[in-house]
Amino acid sequence: MRRMACLPLLLLLFTATAEAQGNLAEVFSIIRTEGRALTPSSRTRTFAILDTYFSGEKLAVEWPTLNDAISDRDPYVRDQACAVLGAIMYGNMARRIRLPDTTRDLVIQRFSEATPNLRENAVRIIALMAGGVPPALTPELLRIARTDSEFSVRGVAIEALASVAPPSKEITEFWLESLKDVSNTQMRGTVLHAFRFETTANSEIIFLVIGALMDPDYYVRQEAVAAVTKIGKPAAAALPLLMEIRDSPVADVRGDVMRSNATNAIRILSAPN
């Protein structure tokens, strides 16, 4: 998944080492009292408490506290509540957390918030929850992917759409539309980036992914290499282009990385069945 949104509360979230006894009620009490201007002692205390939550197990009795914070009248508290939950979800990707229905619905309501980081974390929470993205959210995620004012939010929505299985007709049309628009390098690269994690069996999409190996933009080419590697044998038609990339002169470190990734892709696509 894409890098977590930067928030004051989370700068040291994964590195706090202090021993702590406490719970989320204490964390949100500190946030509600001090807001953005946390004192050093409150910051240390908050980090220490949150560091005990990254197994996900302590959440079982904390959902009412989270629900209150996610629906708090103060936008900053709502922001930090989704940041906390988003970080916990991100840290438990290998063993995904199932959200209670009430929590899930409150998070979805945050999709329309004015704060970009809050919108981004809300979408990320839904994308990471056990059970995956509800297909009923497809229209809303497509709206965000196409029109959100912050591209970081659009990028998380794109990754969420890539995890919907099977993809709807509308999602497939969005992939085709985005990959064909060679003028929109940022969108094209972001869609290809999503295919690093979620593969596709659609032959027309695979054709466009392979074609992106010839894009003049480094980011698009690099993401196309990663995408065909994930797709595997159905993208075997990419082998000649991958060989060209592998054998191209190396002008800098980026070129060396590109060649190395192309070599790995060739190995995977050429492996016996």
- pLDDT, one tens digit for every residue, the chain (273 residues): 554 544 444 444 444 433 447 899 999 999 999 999 999 999 999 989 988 887 777 888 899 999 999 999 999 999 999 999 999 998 888 889 999 999 999 999 999 999 999 999 999 999 999 998 999 999 999 999 999 999 999 999 999 999 898 899 999 999 999 999 999 999 999 999 999 888 889 999 999 999 999 999 999 999 999 999 999 999 999 999 999 999 988 778 888 999 999 999 999 999 887
Query: Under the phi-then-psi rule, with left for phi > 0, alpha for psi from -120 to 50, and beta for the rest, what region is 22?
Result: left
3-state per-residue secondary structure call for 71-132: CCCCHHHHHHHHHHHHHHHHHCCCCCCCCCHHHHHHHHHHHHCCCHHHHHHHHHHHHHCCCC
Options 3.40.1130, 3.30.70, 1.25.10, 1.10.10; CATH of 1-164:
1.25.10
Tell me the pTM.
0.85
Q: Which residue, 119, 163, 179, is CA-closest to 143? A: 119
Task: Choose among 39, 43, 33: nearest CA to 72.
Answer: 33
